[in-house]
Structure 1
Amino acid sequence: MKRAATGSLIGLALGDALGFPTEFNDVPAILATCGPWREMALPDPAYITDDTQMTLALSRGLRTATDRGLLGPKRLERPLREEFVDWYQSPENNRAPGNTCLKACYLLKTGKPWEEASQVHSKGCGANMRVAPVGLAPGLTDEQRAGAAQLQSALTHGHPTALAASDLTAHAVRLLAEGAEPTGLVGLLRSYAYENRETYHERWLGELWTRSGDASPRAFIARGWDECLGVLERLRDALRSPSPETDPCLATGEGWIAEEAFATGLLCFLMFVDEPLTALRRAACTSGDSDSIACLTGAFAGAHLGADAWPTEWTGRIEHGAELREFGALWDA
């Protein structure tokens, strides 16, 4: 067994920790501090950020929901709300968390319906950076996986592009975990986006679309998928003539918003499919949201290559490594 779930969860945490010190810096500043990007070392101690913290929160909520029976929106929303509020109140929530997550989780804490807490005008990357567990958990139908990916986004980031990018990210992780060839991945993702372009998961999202000003639920969700399709075009163009020594953000965006974080993280992985540490280092040495980009790169690389992709001298130092491996073992089994 390649242990795809373990590889993906450990990989995303390693990318998160590697990109933590470089976030908010441009590439020249990173090179001046860290030296050549291909030789970047994992910080010691290897602290994670809110990216992995919220991935673990989602993992716990998803485990609780599936332990209680068939996964559905109400069964997922209740434990997920509790986990997100616990994260919001945690003293460890001091790793430069995003404003959208903070505002939405505060509103969730007050007991407001999640639809009122959702920040419908935010498509920040805070939802799809944490969605990998939805792509890794076994036994879900396509409808459950898409609905869960979008609902976990909607609790904080209710913009249609945040929903679509979270769904697309979970789908990419799932495809790679199941053995899809990386060379055909972009084509598979484009097909998935076209197939789902007008699919509004009303069972999971309720009347969220009415808070956006769109004319219909189909128009609402299509707006998000269209932005994802646009960035997939940019990704396909970048892969036609890849430039490993050039900042990937110049091709697919700086990653502060959902669709760009997805595409730039995927670009770093696809440029170095068989060199996962090089992929992480390239993702961490970027001018944008380096920890989130590298987090996504690690999730993709680990899902594709499995747990043995990561050297023990790195994995043994990652913060919360035991809990990450616990979830990996659960879902790999």
Structure 2
Amino acid sequence: MRGCLLGGAIGDALGAGIEFESLEKIQAVHGPQGVTGYVPAYGRPGAITDDTQMSLFTVDGLIRAHIRRDSGGWHPPTDVHLAYLRWAATQRDWGPDERRPDLGWLGREEWLYAQRAPGQACLSGLSGPQADRLGTLDAPKNPHSKGCGTVMRAAPFGLLTSWEPGLVFQLAVECSVLTHGHPTGYLSAGALAVIVHTVARGGTLEEGVHLALALLSERPSHEETTAALRGALDAVRAGEPSAERVEALGEGWVAEEALAIGVYCALVAYDVKSGLLLAVNHSGDSDSTGAICGNLLGALHGDTALPPELLAGLEGRGTVLELADDFVLELMHGPELHGQDAGEGTAWAVRYPVVR
């Protein structure tokens, strides 16, 4: 749990300062190896972007969904949608609105109230006239969008390790269409969730990819996502890892390319840091590909394998740790935290208020 969320945040922060630069410029400025550590972004080294912000709010929504289940209601996409609306408030408000009892502790973290190049589909799907409408598979938000904003926030669904893979896939899909309605976008999110889920349950990355491919084959319009994952596997077999092989998979601005790059870099990594650096040093959406690779390597190796020098300089590290631990606590001890004897005034209910 900790490893997946922290690894994703580290990969995100490594790519934040070079997100819009070409590989040629990255190498000209930082040397032939590209960046080898954090470079300044948004006023500091180690800053995270909207990728980590939205991943954190995904976890917040999943925690509240489990709380609602024990109170008689159970529709996780609704709670994740409400969580994303709270994230959207961080992109337009100066700070937390103390008049809102629904914010919980995460929504009151002032450092999260910062725009970090959020994707347009995420913003448009969660603001304006359609903000409160729940996107569904039959009536998705932004039906033509397959931007990587749908996949870079999907790893937390894979941490529901007591669920069956098919249900994890479906939940990631249903929460993707809250903002991104193109099949390639939401199927890429489902694929990442299943790969993370496989690894979190003790399997290998390769097993996760092949399970994702099997589940994709059952879905209409899976061809782009399937081709991207198969391209990642082909690149692994093609020879020595390189930035050129990464760039052959795309730039990562769209979901299937970001997924392929993140998966490829995780598969060929000889340690966590090498995989993360490979995932960010390319011409494209470096923070999103770094985040996806970090989610995978963190889930595979755990938080103790994360580079300590990168962990120490990560913005919001304490928040990520606290939320990860709360997620575990909710999944393992939820009924004790919000059972019949746990009323609305309990600490857990204050941390994660469920709007009725």
- 1:183, CA displacement in angstroms? 4.6
- 1:104 is matched with 125
- 1:321 is matched with 317
Q: Does 1:235 align with 2:256?
A: no
Counterparts of 1:117 and 1:241, CA distance in 2 = 38
- 1:68 is matched with 68
Tell me, what secondary structure is at the counterpart of 2:291?
Answer: helix
Gaps of 5+ in 1: 199-221
- 1:226, CA displacement in angstroms? 1.6
Preserved CA contact (<8 Å) 1:252 1:264: yes
Tell me, what secondary structure is at the counterpart of 2:52?
Answer: helix
Counterparts of 1:68 and 1:147, CA distance in 2 = 19
- 1:109, CA displacement in angstroms? 6.7
- 2:141 is matched with 118
- Give TM-score, length-normalised by structure 1: 0.83
- 1:300 is matched with 296
- 1:287 is matched with 283
Q: Does 1:129 align with 2:158?
A: no
Query: Which residues in structure 2 correspond to 1:17-166 (within 5 Å)?
Result: 17-37=13-33, 40-43=36-39, 44-69=44-69, 75-90=75-90, 91=94, 92-107=113-128, 110-115=131-136, 118-166=141-189
Report the residue type matching 1:79 in the other structure. D
- 2:341 is matched with none
Preserved CA contact (<8 Å) 2:165 2:194: no
- 1:97, CA displacement in angstroms? 0.8
Residues 88-117 of structure 1, C-alpha deviations (whole Å, 9 max, x = no match): 221434111111111101147743343467
Query: Which residues in structure 2 correspond to 1:195-206 (within 5 Å)?
Result: 197-198=218-219
The correspondence for 1:169, drawn from 192, 216, 241, is: 192
Report the residue type matching 1:111 in the other structure. D
Residues 224-283 of structure 1, C-alpha deviations (whole Å, 9 max, x = no match): x221111122122211113423334433211111111101111111111x3110111111
Preserved CA contact (<8 Å) 2:243 2:281: no
- 1:6, CA displacement in angstroms? 0.7
Over 3 Å counting, the alpha-carbon distance change for 1:230 and 1:81 in structure 2 is: same
Preserved CA contact (<8 Å) 1:249 1:255: no
Tell me, what secondary structure is at the counterpart of 1:68?
Answer: helix
Q: Does 1:267 align with 2:257?
A: no
Structure having the larger proportion of residues in helix: 1
Alignment length (residue pairs):
302
Over 3 Å counting, the alpha-carbon distance change for 1:158 and 1:310 in structure 2 is: same
Report the residue type matching 1:146 in the other structure. F
Counterparts of 1:236 and 1:110, CA distance in 2 = 38
- 1:172, CA displacement in angstroms? 0.5
Over 3 Å counting, the alpha-carbon distance change for 1:138 and 1:99 in structure 2 is: same
- Give RMSD over aligned pairs: 2.4
Counterparts of 2:71 and 2:143, CA distance in 1 = 24
Counterparts of 2:242 and 2:22, CA distance in 1 = 14
Preserved CA contact (<8 Å) 2:146 2:254: yes
Counterparts of 2:206 and 2:162, CA distance in 1 = 26
- 1:246 is matched with 243
The correspondence for 2:5, drawn from 4, 9, 24, is: 9
Counterparts of 1:79 and 1:316, CA distance in 2 = 32
Tell me, what secondary structure is at the counterpart of 2:203?
Answer: coil
Counterparts of 2:71 and 2:319, CA distance in 1 = 22
Gaps of 5+ in 2: 95-112, 330-356
Preserved CA contact (<8 Å) 2:4 2:298: yes
Report the residue type matching 1:59 in the other structure. V
Counterparts of 1:73 and 1:286, CA distance in 2 = 45
